[in-house]
Amino acid sequence: MQKFILACALIFSGTCISAQTGTTKADPRVSDHFGQEKIELWQNSNDSIEYYNFIASHVFELYSQEYIDAVNPANIKTINLSDSEIEALQTDISQFNIFSSTIPWKTSENQWYKVVGTNLYLLIHNEEYINKKFNSVK
């Protein structure tokens, strides 16, 4: 449970906003996926960068086997992730790049995945949840 709380704290501190210039800096996971050219295009409107930064940190949650045993969610699928993705999930969740992973995002429903070879489970939130949460913190 302490690891989960620490992971949440890292997630919430992961959004990169530059207070000095008033412009939003793209999370490295966002710029790695979309490229610098797209980021520069988005600099005219910080909304896109803020939204994708938010998705990078909030579209998924990580749970242990103990939690899954307690809540027993339905329709858990398995997913194979690369060694580097698993390492990021296990050591520094802010380095896990959901955009470049092989996890499909079904925007209409939440999805549960068991990460093969670990005792980790990912909850991928649906688009409606993400949009409501994004708008509530804006």
**pTM of the full predicted structure?**
0.77
pLDDT category at 51 given cuts 50, 70, 90 is very high
Place of tokens 């409501």: 132
Using CA atoms, how far residue 20 sits from 25, 26, 45, in Å, is: 11, 15, 17
Q: Are the C-beta atoms of residues 78 and 113 closer than 8 Å to each other? A: yes
**Which whole number is the average pLDDT over 117-125?**
95
| Three-class SS state of 56 | helix
Give 22's pLDDT tier (boundaries 50, 70, 90).
low
Map tokens 């797209």 to a residue: 38
Domain hosting residue 120, numbered range: 2-137
Greater pLDDT, 19 or 133: 133
Domains identified in the chain, total number: 1
CA 85 to chain centre: 12
